[in-house]
Amino acid sequence: MHFVKAAMVMAISLGLASAQGPRLGAVFKEDGCGGDAAEPIYPEACVNLAEKKSINFIRRDIECLGHPGPNCQGPPRPVKGPENLCLPVAGPFAGLQSIICFLP
């Protein structure tokens, strides 16, 4: 019975994770994309950049909009980061408090 319960928990967890779509990258609380990922970047999910110091995109074919306010508020501006390269949030994302990314 314990095996069945464990299998159900794993199936539910995997189902919820796959419902979010593919991970596009992550934002980190430390410089150099070090330490544990502070927050993953999923398609069409707003990511707040407050207290984040670095960002890494794992896909090249994404488009992102940066917002001057938290929770993707304010007029958007297009931003792009290179694939598999750790960037400081203060770089191309300077002046932005949140981003939302999309798959083409």
| DSSP secondary structure letters along 26-62 | EEESSGGG-SSEEEEE-TT-EEE-TT--EEEES-SS-
**Residue whose tokens read 């979010």:** 20
Band (pLDDT 50/70/90 cuts) for residue 104 is confident
**18 is a domain residue:** no
Q: What's the confidence (pLDDT) of residue 91?
A: 85
Residue numbers of the domain that contains 94:
41-104
**94 is a domain residue:** yes
What domain count does the chain have?
1
**Between residues 104 and 95, the one the model is more confident about:** 95
**73 is a domain residue:** yes
Whole-number percent of the chain with pLDDT over 70: 80
The contacts of residue 96 (CB under 8 Å, 6+ apart) are 49, 66, 67, 68, 77, 79
Band (pLDDT 50/70/90 cuts) for residue 19 is low
